[in-house]
């Protein structure tokens, strides 16, 4: 909804003086009954106020032959998460709207977003591209397009869109890294690996490239590669707290406890407010049979991240091992509650 509001504002600012200067009682340059304008304005206000279902109730009572009614109906359906219906309405409406009109731009914009959110990425791209043509510097449009291109495995187009979003040259190693990071988020690890390998081939000192390759290796269970990639990142930037945390994670999985503790401690010294290293340190000290230190680490993790299920569960296990049954029961209950909330 926030993205749609931003795009609407951007499109309105880019409108021609004639379109922007129209009164609420005109559409496509023609006069319409004045009595319809207040009803449409009220429905639009309901949509903008996060009440699209109420807007749809009002719109059904209006003249469905009026293109403004159908356009706003499509917008309201999108906001009501009835995107398939929105797509049907807007696909029928769009061809009859004047080229380069605000109405047509909005219809294409909402159509593109609806198709994108329905997972119909290839179909969404042409409408998102038309929206970008109207507002070429809009970050949200470029970001959405970048993700759509990733989903269609068009790495070059994704890189170009995301480079625009993050203000880097599209042929730079920085664009490779940004694109790879989004690819990893969208579970396109093979595509990301190709981007990062290309970046390092051109510049072996590319920031974050080794870190992200280490992340992919860790995800795949390739622990030796994860360790080496994390160390390579830290050689370039010893102050990278996340690379130190990743190194500690990989080392702990290899049962190299003392080395893992050292890496995780460095991560905490660089960023003491992230719960992840505390949790792994809790696990490491449990393995070293140092329960008091482990408990302190896990409680610190919970202080920074009270809704972290893993921290509560590990603490419950530790308390159970220490014979503190009631405290353990309390922590298990919290972990279970957080697990249920996550499922919901």
Give a yes or no: residue 298 inside a domain.
Answer: yes
Give the structural domain span for 120: 1-8+44-135
Domain boundary among 135, 161, 194: 135
Q: Is residue 146 part of a domain?
A: no
Any domain includes 262: no
Q: What is the C-alpha to C-alpha distance for residues 169 and 166, in angstroms, rounded to an integer? A: 9
Question: Where residue 105 sits, what CATH number does that domain have?
Answer: 1.25.40.10
Count of structural domains, the chain: 2
d(CA 141, CA 197): 28
252 CB contacts (<8 Å, ≥6 apart)? Answer: 260, 264, 280, 283, 284
Burial class (CB in 10 A: 0-12, 13-18, 19+), 235: exposed
- Per residue in 33-47, pLDDT (tens digit) is 557 889 999 999 999
For the chain, the straight-line distance linking the first and the last C-alpha, in angstroms and rounded, comes to: 22
> Which of these three, 75, 109, 135, is where a domain ends?
135
Mean pLDDT over 8-25 rounds to 40
Contacts of 192 (CB under 8 A, 6+ apart): 179, 180, 181, 183, 184, 212, 216
What is the pTM (predicted TM-score) of this model? 0.83
* DSSP, residue by residue, 105-172: HHHHHHHHHHHHHTT-HHHHHHHHHHHHHHSTT-HHHHHHHHHHHHHTT-HHHHHHHHHHHHT--TTS
Instruction: Please give the pLDDT value at position 35.
Output: 74
Q: Tokens 């072996």 — which residue?
A: 204
161 in any annotated domain: no
Within a domain: residue 280?
yes
Instruction: Return the pLDDT at 30.
Output: 41
Q: Which residue, among 183, 236, 243, 239, has the nearest Cα to 211 in the 3D structure?
A: 243
Q: Tell me the HSE value of 106 on the side-chain side, using a 13 A CA sphere.
A: 24
Residue 93 within a domain: yes
pLDDT of residue 72 exceeding 90: yes
User: Is 327 among the domain residues?
Assistant: yes
Last residue of a domain, one of 114, 135, 156: 135
pLDDT one-digit tens code per residue, 217-253: 999 999 999 999 999 999 999 999 999 999 999 999 9
85 belongs to a structural domain: yes
**pLDDT tens-place string over residues 293-326:** 999 999 999 999 999 999 999 999 999 999 999 9
d(CA 236, CA 229): 11
pLDDT at 27: 43
């Amino acid at each position: 909804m926030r993205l749609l509001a931003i795009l609407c504002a951007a499109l309105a600012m880019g409108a021609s003086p004639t379109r922007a200067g129209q009164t609420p009682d005109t559409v496509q340059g023609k006069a319409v009954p004045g009595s319809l304008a207040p009803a449409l304005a009220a429905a639009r206000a309901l949509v903008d106020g996060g009440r699209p279902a109420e807007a749809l109730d009002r719109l059904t009572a209006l003249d469905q032959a009026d293109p403004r009614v159908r356009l706003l109906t499509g917008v309201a359906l999108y906001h009501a998460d009835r995107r398939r219906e929105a797509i049907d309405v807007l696909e029928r409406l769009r061809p009859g709207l004047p080229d380069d009109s605000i109405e047509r731009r909005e219809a294409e914009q909402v159509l593109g977003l609806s198709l994108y959110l329905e997972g119909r990425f290839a179909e969404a791209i042409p409408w998102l591209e038309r929206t970008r043509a109207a507002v070429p510097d809009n970050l949200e449009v470029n970001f959405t397009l970048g993700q759509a291109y990733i989903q269609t495995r068009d790495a070059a187009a994704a890189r170009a869109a995301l480079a625009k979003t993050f203000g880097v040259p599209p042929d730079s190693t920085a664009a490779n890294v940004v694109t790879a990071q989004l690819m990893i988020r969208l579970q396109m690890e093979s595509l990301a690996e190709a981007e990062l390998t290309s970046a390092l081939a051109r510049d072996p000192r590319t920031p974050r490239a080794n870190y992200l390759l280490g992340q992919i290796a860790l995800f795949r269970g390739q622990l030796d590669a994860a360790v080496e990639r994390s160390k390579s990142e830290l050689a370039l930037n010893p102050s990278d707290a996340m690379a130190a945390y990743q190194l500690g994670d990989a080392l702990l999985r290899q049962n190299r406890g003392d080395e893992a503790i050292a890496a995780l401690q460095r991560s905490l010294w660089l960023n003491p407010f992230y719960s992840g290293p505390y949790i792994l340190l809790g696990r490491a000290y449990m393995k070293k049979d140092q329960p008091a230190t482990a408990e302190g680490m896990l409680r610190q993790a919970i202080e920074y991240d009270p809704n972290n299920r893993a921290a509560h569960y590990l603490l419950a296990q530790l308390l159970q091992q220490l014979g503190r049954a009631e405290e353990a029961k309390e922590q298990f209950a919290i972990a279970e509650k957080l697990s249920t909330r996550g499922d919901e």
